Amino acid sequence: MRVNGEPYPHRAGLTLHALLRDLGIEPERVAVAVGDDFYPGARVPDRPLEPDDVIEIVRIIGGG
Amino acid sequence: MTDPPLSDPLLLGGRTFTSRLMLGTGKFRDLALMRDVLEVSETQIVTVAIRRVELRSPGHVGLLDALDLCRYQLLPNTAGCRTAEEAVRVARLARAATGVSWVKLEVIADPRWLLPDPVGTLRAAELLVAEGFTVLPYVQPDAVLARALERVGCAAVMPLASPIGTGRGLRTGDLLHTVLDGAGVPTVVDAGLGVPSDAAQALEAGADAVLVNTAIAEARDPVAMARAFALGVRAGRLGYLAGRMAQRACAHPSSPPQGVPRLPDPEQPA
């Protein structure tokens, strides 16, 4: 499993909500992609994660 | 006599705006300063960027918390994307993060000059328009490319004045004219503007709007500079609407040449 470009240890039963909790991330402040599925932070489903999932967790910052 | 209006509406992406100055939100010292700048600039469209959350220190003060989203049309960018595929992915993430389908499309394969990749930009624009995005692509001032982007459904084109962050002004001036001339969608001059007169010149030349970030964020007094850019944009637009005089090769007196109370010419006999 990869999270934001880095390898991340997968464990049996890991879900998206649990991952965000592990990372200390408040879902409403971010957006999440699992593969080609895109979720607003407030509507992140508690879907099970697979060992080969590619996950992006992003936020808005200042930019031009 | 009634004063001529200081602004006429800008129609862009199905919305109407009274300000023709778009602002970037990067490089500001802090969020309070950024808010003050946005306020005095009268801007209604602000760009933001999308970045990965730092997994080791996810806490942050949210930019979105600092922006009154009722007042500003957010324009997320795809800055830093090197390919069409990366840009499309970041646009989708931006839509998920903001709920906004507008995107300032940047596909930049050249890290030194930050020049946009025209082929990748066109391909990404086509895909994003098909997904319902309002696409504003950042481009070199290439009229042929601009027309192609119009044809695939872009809401505007954003030709560069000079490379991003350089503050060198309208170095691409003559080429910009070829994009502005006959454009079927609004043209937003983006990148490289350094001083308010650069913005005024762009609007005078027929640009519909400008986007400014570094020139304000790196000014000694960003709030004053934001106000100055707002005035420059208004002056430029009003000048454009007023219709400039024709240029002449030779001088032409503004005072009548007849009736000057002359002394006798010492070269001529009386």
Q: Is B27 a catalytic residue?
A: no
3-class secondary structure, B240: helix
The Cα–Cα gap between B249 and B118 comes to 38
Compute, in degrees rounded to 10, the torsion defined by CA atoms B232, B233, B234, B237. Answer: 120
Q: Which of A 21-60 lie inside 8 A of B, CB atoms?
A: 23-25, 29-33, 38-41, 56-60
If you measure CA to CA, which chain B residue comes closest to A22? B55
Whether B3 shows a pLDDT value over 90: the answer reads: no
Which residues of B fall within a CB distance of 8 Å from A23? 53, 55, 58
Interface contact flag, B52 A58, Cβ < 8 Å: yes
Whether B269 shows a pLDDT value over 90: the answer reads: no
pTM of the model: 0.91
Q: Which of A24, A38, A63 sits opposite B92 (nearest CB)?
A: A38
- Confidence class for position B108, pLDDT limits 50, 70, 90: very high
Give the model confidence (pLDDT) of A1-54 as tens digits.
999 999 999 999 999 999 999 999 988 879 999 999 999 988 999 999 999 999
Q: Dmax over Cα atoms in chain A, in whole Å? A: 42
Whether B59 shows a pLDDT value over 70: the answer reads: no
pLDDT of residue A40: 94
Averaged pLDDT of chain B: 93
Could you give the residue ranges of the DSSP H alpha helices within chain B?
31-41, 63-66, 84-98, 118-130, 143-151, 173-180, 196-204, 214-217, 222-242
pLDDT of residue B4: 64
Whether B256 shows a pLDDT value over 80: the answer reads: yes
Per annotation, catalytic residue among B20, B95, B104, B123:
B104
pLDDT of residue B88: 98
CB B242, CB B234: distance < 8 Å: no
Whether B264 shows a pLDDT value over 80: the answer reads: yes
Element (H, E) at A16: helix A16-23
pLDDT of residue B253: 93
Least confident piece of the model among B48-62, B79-93, B111-125, B180-194: B48-62
pLDDT of residue B263: 92
Q: Which of A4, A5, A29 sits opposite B62 (nearest CB)?
A: A29
pLDDT of residue B61: 61
If you measure CA to CA, which chain B residue comes closest to A33? B93
Interface contact flag, A56 B26, Cβ < 8 Å: no
**Which domains are present in chain A?**
2-59 (3.10.20.30)
Interface contact flag, B98 A60, Cβ < 8 Å: yes
Its ipTM equals: 0.94
Distance from the A14 Cα atom to the nearest Cα atom in chain B, whole angstroms: 17
Q: Which of A40, A58, A63 sits opposite B53 (nearest CB)?
A: A58
Least confident piece of the model among A11-15, B10-14, B69-73, B120-124: B69-73
